[in-house]
Structure 1
């Protein structure tokens, strides 16, 4: 077994000045990146960072982000990623719960008030080779760095309403790198896309697939990674050869001309045969599986071709998957059971939560004495040839747009609003248009009876990350129940909502045959809302980035023009978006011709 610093430094030794990281117009070679990380690591050691010491990293996508992560690991510490795009309350909880020794951030990042010491990165941290640029050794660290020491802590959605930190050591990294080499096989000359937010363990896969193989890691701004046209343009512009993307991003992105002869891996959600048939042409495709409680993943299938059901493959090198019944007995091949994960990639457990850890990390009766296995909550089966297949969840956890979500956390957040008595959250739609829908019963009284669903969405958005905010909130007189007195989730969609408060001046609907009317009708259809009006905001109605990509495609089909995602993201209202669309299509928002059609929307 090894650690990330040792693995990275061995790559640096043979890669020299080969490009390590590309971000916009900046390229940094392996030797320079290593030197930057070493200098920063020494500053961290001087501040008390060492093995099993946490450092919160709040840095936007940039070369500085990669430098910061490497520096923390070289110092012997473990990084706690804080995505600056997360709500302040969420970031504040993570810092309070994890209690890092230090917060490492750039000057443009603002965090909620906290009592942790900070180190703000500046221009001096990006200087070229010089004093302190050589590799940091164990003699300089506060203690020798070992594989069993902590590597990162990543927070996941919690069924109790509180996110919990998963503590992952270095022990599984060597086997993960060996699995990467044996499957996707990135290396010198390849270009690996860094797509996932740093707050997800998939980002660590991207980092290691690039930097521990000698390939070039390609970073881009968040808006240039949005599924659809922005993502495709980024893949083409940077000649990306390897990318890991969730099925929902693949479903709305055109596969023509991208990753030709390269490799794509689908992960984060169930992959369909149709997606495999589309994306496996002209490139190798793999399907990966694994929760945050292991070192990024547990199994990989492929190359897959779409000829039959898409499996999740076989265990990574050094890892095991048991398919067990409720008494922890192995189930026969072909029969369903719960997936239990074991081996070198297993996390330590949940940071500061021994009870939750004991409930999920249980003794492995099929492993070495004293070994543990993770009870995943996933249902699956093993075929006679060893191929594993995912069959859904055994609890209320879901995947939406590739994100792991505990619906109970959303429900708990909603019920902290003074107007909400009970809440039930479900997922509606399919892979490409999946939406979180919340149903609430109100506490009664004047305030409760007239609460605006939009107010409840905004309230939740102040605490939960964007991917957990319900697309719509439906107030009900009461939540339907079954004969056992439990909430009947299947009956929620048919329940009659509370009548909304009467608007003093209802907005007249747009002309049905104009650009504005057509656009509003498209939005209502895509978002599955009763109506959309020119004064509405697409995202306030429940839109998100994937649904925005759907809207861009529908506009292209309807008006024969190309709408940049930035136009949809920045439009304050649908009326403003209709004006932009109408001007480009050569008509006014009311449908009257104004000029030539076919130009892209500015």
Structure 2
């Protein structure tokens, strides 16, 4: 399956009109503010392909350290040669430009060779954590992505069957083979373009099956190679690699460091150890909260996203370094708004649109709301991704033609609520749907409940989020075994979807309209947790 989701899209039109009937509901002064606040700066992007930016750094400083992990290191020149050799091996195995290659791996130097090798082959990588991905989810990802090859480590090779149409390559074994001093630079039969896919990330889906989001090279380059997304990263700096490879913010860490000539510090079990020697940290607020700035004297830049950031946490770090608070779903390429927050800032917001991106605050009929009024956030511009793989109905629901940028442009419905401040920054005001963030990951509560309902004897289930790190579920009838229910989720969904506790009830409370009363369940969950009645086995 070699389908590029961008193939049928018309080329972007010339400069945006930002006019017409869709803006007529706003008085003229507010139309000007709608455009001024919603339009990020228009700036050139120096590369249209992620690996070309890396190759430029490798050519300029081949002996500089590209990455460190548990006492081992690799230079830019060697990393470049290893990735070229892997790209040639992939091509010999049948991988062609436009294909997708699953990368089932753990943190380490082979992880970097895998990602770059796939990109050099003209394909897109599909990352999954080899130790944490449940078998059912892995099977779905391989099928839904149409992966034509799998890259993994020798220790995990038995997780995927080697088939003629989907070979399995162990990258650590390949790296152990002697490397030619001057291997030829690999170039695929068809030169890749910015509209080609860079990676496919699978996010939680409403049906319990993750959705694959197709992200292009142009999407990624626009964030990583312009300010503020480049975070001032450059040669001589050290960037911590703390996050799960299947999380889109990991691409910000990994590719952001390698595209700018920095050293990537890949953590082992001790997350804090990697952060202590880093200049730049990219993390979710939950991860950052586990770090002590007093023990991280080198850190000069911090960027957070993925979930709301508590202001005390922002104040703590902003007092010692440059602190960036960002926001944006996977479908708009990691983040599409950023605030450079200082301790003297009037508000902690999600900032302004990043370069070549747009953000609109719209009502239920997709019309602009007044400045300062609450509406739903829609995202446009260079960060809007190519869509979901093989999901036309979902694409039609979430991706729409952009009436503000004009023909050839698409905008994405984030389902976030927000409003513009008088200064032209965005305040995030929650979600419009049942999707929540847990430990920085997106979780569909209905997907968790659907997994619970596969437990023998379970008739109905509901799930609530107690805080940014905790889910609690309820099942009926009351003889359902809580431990078995949690295992049902663990076998079907990622670890961060597993509820901390499962409570079995005779029946679930209902609202006056006959729906599950989740407000009552949340109150019950908090009450039971406070009383120490959680059941997590």
TM-score by length of structure 1 reads 0.77
Counterpart Cα distance in 2 of 1:112 and 1:220 = 26
Change (3 A) 1:183 1:306: farther
Indicate the residue corresponding to 2:532 in structure 1.
530
| 1:451-475 per-position Cα deviation (integer Å, ceiling 9, x unaligned) | 3211211221111111000001111
1:102 corresponding residue in structure 2:
149
Q: 3-state DSSP class of the match of 1:269?
A: coil
**C-alpha distance in structure 1 between counterparts of 2:393 and 2:126, whole Å:** 22
User: Gapped runs of 5+ residues in structure 1?
Assistant: 226-230, 443-448, 498-523, 533-539, 543-602
2:72 to 26, 40, 46: 26
Q: 2:254 aligns with which of 204, 207, 220?
A: 207
State whether structure 2 residue 497 is matched by structure 1 residue 468: yes
CA deviations over 1:418-471 (Å, ceiling 9, x no partner)? 311111110114x4xx310001122xxxxxx53321121122111111100000
2:84 is matched with which residue?
A: 38
For residues 243-282 of structure 1, give each alpha carbon's deviation from its aligned partner in whole angstroms, at most 9, with x where no partner exists.
0111112223322131545111111111121111111122
Structure 1 residue 81 displacement after superposition = 0.7
Distance 1:300 1:103, change over 3 A: same
What are the residue-to-residue correspondences of 1:326-341 with 2, within 5 Å? Answer: 326-341=364-379
- Superimposed CA distance per residue, residues 95-144 of structure 1 (whole angstroms, 9 cap, x where no aligned partner): 1222200111111014155753212234442456526734323xxx1322
What does residue 275 of structure 2 align with? 235
CA distance in 2, matches of 1:453, 1:167: 37
User: Which residue is equivalent to 2:536?
Assistant: 541
Indicate how the Cα distance of structure 1 residues 131 and 395 shifts in structure 2: closer, same or farther if over 3 A, else same. Answer: same
The residue aligned with 1:255 is 293
Matched residue SS, 1:104: strand
Q: Counterpart of 2:30?
A: none
Q: Deviations over 1:367-404 (max 9, x none)?
A: 13121100000011122332111110000011111111
Task: Say whether residues 1:142 and 2:209 are aligned partners.
Answer: no
1:111 and 2:111 aligned: no
Going from structure 1 to structure 2, the CA distance change for 1:394 and 1:494 (only over 3 Å counts) comes to: closer
Conservation of the 8 A alpha-carbon contact between 1:273 and 1:306 = no
Distance 2:402 2:197 in 1: 22
- Which residue of structure 2 aligns with residue 59 of structure 1? 105
Question: Residue 36 of structure 1: SS of its match in structure 2?
Answer: helix
Matched, 1:155 2:205: no
- Match for residue 382 of structure 1? 420
Contact 1:314 1:386 in 2 (8 A): yes
Q: Deviations over 1:470-491 (max 9, x none)?
A: 0011111111111111111111
Looking at structure 2, the residues matched to 135 and 305 of structure 1 have their Cα atoms a distance apart, in angstroms, of: 48
User: Is residue 75 of structure 2 the alignment partner of residue 80 of structure 1?
Assistant: no
Instruction: Determine helix, strand or coil for the equivalent of 1:179.
Output: coil
Residues of 2 paired with 1:74 and 1:201: CA distance?
A: 20
| Cα distance in structure 2, aligned partners of 1:415 and 1:374 | 32
Partner of 1:423: 461
More relative contact order in 1 or in 2 (CA 8 Å, sep 6+)? 2
**TM value normalised by structure 2:** 0.86
CA drift of 1:13 comes to: 1.8
Q: CA deviation at 1:526?
A: 12
Distance of aligned partners of 1:185 and 1:279 in 2 relative to their CA distance in 1, 3 Å threshold: same
Report Cα offsets for 1:65-121 as digits up to 9, x if no partner: 000100000000000112112212211221122220011111101415575321223
Q: Deviations over 1:164-222 (max 9, x none)?
A: 1111111123321233467620111110011111111111100122101111011022x
Following the alignment from structure 1 to structure 2, what is the Cα–Cα distance between the partners of residues 526 and 267? 31
Contact kept, 8 Å, 2:97 with 2:192, in 1: the verdict is yes
Distance 2:336 2:527 in 1: 38
Name the CA distance, whole Å, in 1 between partners of 2:115 and 2:245: 10
Q: Does structure 1 conserve the Cα–Cα contact (< 8 Å) formed by 2:205 and 2:444?
A: yes
Q: How does 1:63-462 map to 2 (within 5 A)?
A: 63-84=109-130, 85-109=132-156, 110-111=158-159, 113=161, 116-127=166-177, 129-130=179-180, 133-137=183-187, 141-180=188-227, 184-221=231-268, 223-225=269-271, 231=272, 233-236=273-276, 239-260=277-298, 262-305=300-343, 307-429=345-467, 431=468, 434-442=469-477, 449-462=478-491
Give the distance between the partners of 1:454 and 1:418, measured in 2 at CA. Answer: 12
Q: What is the Cα deviation at residue 528 of structure 1?
A: 4.6
Task: Specify the structure having the higher radius of gyration (Cα).
Answer: 1
- Determine if contact 1:280/1:304 at 8 Å carries over to the other structure: yes
* 2:348 match: secondary structure: coil
Contact 1:154/1:165 (<8 A) preserved: yes
Q: Distance in 2 between matches of 1:263 and 1:19?
A: 20
- What secondary structure is seen at the aligned counterpart in 2 of 1:67? helix
Give the SS at the match of 1:311. coil
Aligned to 2:21: none
Tell me if the contact between 2:227 and 2:355 (Cα under 8 Å) persists in the aligned partners. no
Q: Aligned in 2, Cα 1:315/1:127: closer, same or farther, shift over 3 Å? A: farther
CA contact (8 A) 2:63 2:76 kept: yes
CA contact (8 A) 1:246 1:402 kept: yes
Which residue of 11, 32, 38 corresponds with 2:57? 11
Change (3 A) 1:458 1:75: same
Is the Cα contact below 8 Å between 1:33 and 1:67 reproduced in 2? yes
Number of residue equivalences = 487
Q: Give the SS at the match of 1:96.
A: helix
Which stretch has the larger CA shift, 402-411 or 44-53? 44-53
Matched residue of 1:330: which SS?
Answer: coil
